[in-house]
Amino acid sequence: MDDKVVVITGASAGIGAAAARLLASRGASVVLAARRRELLESVASTCGARALAVVADVGARAQVRRVVAEGIGRFGHLDVWINNAGQGITRAPSQLTDEDVDEVMRQNVKSALYGMQEVLPHFKERGAGHVINVSSMLGRIPFATFRSAYCGAKHFLNALTATFRDEVQQTHPGIQFSLVSPPVVRTDFGANAIGGGPDSRQLPGSQSAEEVADVIAGVIASRRPDVYTRAGSGDRVAGYYAALGKDP
**Which positions are annotated as active-site residues?**
150
Distance CA 183, CA 204 (A): 10
Rg over CA atoms, the chain:
17
Which helix (H) or strand (E) segment holds residue 165: the answer is helix 148-169
Q: How many CB atoms lie under 10 A from the CB of residue 8?
A: 31
DSSP label of 106: I
Q: Yes or no: say if 142 and 148 are a contact pair by the CB < 8 Å rule.
A: yes
Distance CA 115, CA 63 (A): 10
Distance CA 128, CA 174 (A): 5
Q: How far is CA 51 from CA 44, 118, 188, 207, 216, in A?
A: 6, 21, 23, 26, 18
What is the greatest pairwise CA distance in the chain? 60
Question: What 3-state class would DSSP assign to 145?
Answer: coil
Question: What 3-state class would DSSP assign to 81?
Answer: strand
